[in-house]
Chains A and B, each alone.
Chain A
Amino acid sequence: MFHWLEKHPFFFAVGVFVSIAFAGLIEIVPNFAQASRPVIGTAPYSTLELAGRHVYIKNSCNACHSQLIRPFKSETDRYGHYSLSGEYAYDRPFLWGSKRTGPDLMRVGNYRTTDWHENHMKEPQSVVPGSIMPAYTWMFKNTADINTAYAEQLTVAQFFAVPYNKEVPMKDGSTKIVKMGESVADANALALEEAKAIAADMKDQDVKDAVANGQIPEIVALIAYMNSLK
């Protein structure tokens, strides 16, 4: 067999490739499959959170704020536990970054609240003197795109088996079910329900009125997304 291989360099090259590829396969694939599995406590995004994520990406928040806590004491003291790859299982795309003009937001939901975000997005300098972050006042007026968020939910549920309407294990041993609407109208109703809970903690009367009228301003979706980052 080896004589035959030595006389046929093309097939010899194919054999070499197959051997090395096989080694790579058994070393890389199981490890990758294990590491990219969602960690316990990571749940898929709800419709409103996903719409907020779209607002976040649309306004390029990730240009200044990373979502990646590195395993250094100085970072974990400030931002919380270092990031695990499985925590990004439902992030499409992930929003890592190597440059931080503003602080990391990977776990901002643990230490900032709805009312703080409201003050901060309206006038950052009022809560953080000297901050260079611009105000995002239009988020209080623009309406969030719930339909696109729902379309993304449907897509990822179908193609990537993201567990919507299924039990997801949480850190305290309980389970959580993230609901996805049956129809577009259903999804909008679910998002509105969630938005009402957020708006109840907000002060801006225009936002409260809009939510009461069945509209969801971008700021509500964005705050829902911020609060989900834990």
Chain B
Amino acid sequence: MNKLYLGGAIFTILMLAFTYVSVGGSEGGLNGDIVNMLAIAGAVALVLISVFVVIKYVRQMQTDTADGELADESWDNIGEYKNPVPMGWAIMFLGTMIWGMWYFVIGYPVNAYSQIGEYNEDTAAHNEKFNTQYESITGDRLVEMGESVFLAECKVCHGLSADGIEGKAANLKVRLEAKVVKHVVENGSNNHLLGSEMPMPDRNGLFNNNTGALITDAEIDAVSQFVANGMNGAGAEVFAGACASCHGEDGKGMEYVAPNVAEFTPVLVVNVLNHGKKGAIGTMPAFDRLNAKQKEAVGAYISSLSK
């Protein structure tokens, strides 16, 4: 017995010495350093508790005897007493079973984490915030929003300044460029600019009422320049004769009949965003993942560019 305590004491002293050397040897040592002092105090407590608890149980193993009625079963001659289950253990066991049933039936199914669920909540919260903040904006704020959407979604094709990057996409600073007008007059168009299908015939269906004949190459060039110049210049008569019956005398279009060719309107832009467009330069895809307010804002921004 004394041997056991002696061994414990020697082991304790060794451990404490080792702790002291390693802590005291570190930067700052023990002097006045509260963290190192706490560390060594903790180490002393841990070593003392560990050593003496171990000694207690070793002694108990050496001296303790057990008694009670043996169970019938015997595994490789290792028997088992029929002692009652400790109360604390039994309560824990039953408690775990009840918790398990609750978790399986209610806890997990109702409160399970779902990434998509979180995404849906997040999206709903964002949309709610968007609606309360921006649903009713008009005027300059709408144009500002349109500009920020434009810079995020449209600038890769139409360019930072909306000039179409040297003809790679439509120049949005003017309503129509001459080559675009020319292409449409020659080939016709069906771009859902009014929101529904409303095809414009190609040059074989365009009569100049002034001459009573099909539109000619010279007339196409003249009217293209006229429209591209903002409804100014020499082609006015051709426009009046061939185009005005649908697009209006002033080129501002007619509802359900023909789009505005004199200026951008938000509705026109929204229709292009909804349906995409195919024209003289190439194809523009639909941008229907923008929400209604964002489309309206882009329309307001683009309309503001050419004014």
Decide whether A and B assemble into one complex.
yes
Residue of B nearest to A77 (CB): B289
The answer to whether A113 touches B160, judged by C-beta atoms less than 8 angstroms apart, is: no
Q: Are B165 and A126 interface neighbours, CB within 8 A? A: yes
Q: Give the chain A neighbours of B135 by CB distance below 8 A.
A: none
Interface size class of B (residues with CB under 8 A): 20 to 34
With A71-B115, A114-B283 as known contacts, state yes or no: A6 contacts B156, CB within 8 Å: no
Any chain B CB within 8 A of the CB of A228?
no
CB-contact partner of B284 in A76, A113, A126, under 8 A:
A113
Tell me if A184 counts as interface (CB < 8 A to partner B): no
Q: Separation in Å of the B136 CB from the closest CB of chain A?
A: 21
A113 touches B75 (CB 8 A): no
Least distance between A3 CB and chain B CB atoms (Å):
9
B123 touches A73 (CB 8 A): yes
Task: Kindly state whether residue B282 has any CB partner on chain A within 8 Å.
Answer: yes
Instruction: Tell me if B20 is interfacial: C-beta within 8 Å of chain A.
Output: no
List A contacts of B122 (CB < 8 A): 72-73
CB contacts (< 8 Å) of B236 on chain A: these are none
Select one of B115, B119, B282 contacting A113, CB under 8 A. Answer: B282
B58 partner residues in chain A, CB cutoff 8 A: none
**A105 → chain B closest CB, angstroms:** 13
A114: which B residues are within 8 A, CB to CB? Answer: 282-283
Q: Does B207 contact A (CB under 8 A)?
A: no
Least CB distance, A230 to chain B, in whole angstroms: 10
Taking CB atoms, residues of chain B closer than 8 Å to A119 are: 168
A71-B116, A82-B119 are contacts. A116–B156 as well, Cβ < 8 Å? yes
The CA of A129 and the CA of B165, in the complex, are separated in Å by 10
Identity of the chain A residue whose Cβ is nearest the Cβ of B153 in the assembled complex: A111
Q: Does A26 contact B (CB under 8 A)?
A: no
Known: A126-B168, A127-B156, A127-B165. A115 touches B281 (CB 8 A): yes
Instruction: Decide yes or no whether A80 CB sits under 8 A from chain B.
Output: yes
Does any Cβ of A come within 8 Å of B126's Cβ? yes
How far does the alpha carbon of A217 sit from the alpha carbon of B284 in the complex, in Å? 24
A14 on the B face (CB < 8 A): no
Known contacts A73-B123, A80-B289, A113-B282; is-contact A127 B116 (Cβ 8 Å): no
> How far is A73 from B124 in the complex, measured between Cα atoms in Å?
10
Q: Which A residues are CB-close (under 8 A) to B168? A: 115-116, 119, 126-127
The interface residues of chain B lying within 8 Å CB-to-CB of A72 are 119, 122
CA gap between A114 and B284 in the complex, in Å: 10
Chain A interface (Cβ < 8 Å from any Cβ of B)? 6, 71-73, 76-78, 80, 82, 110-116, 119, 126-129, 201
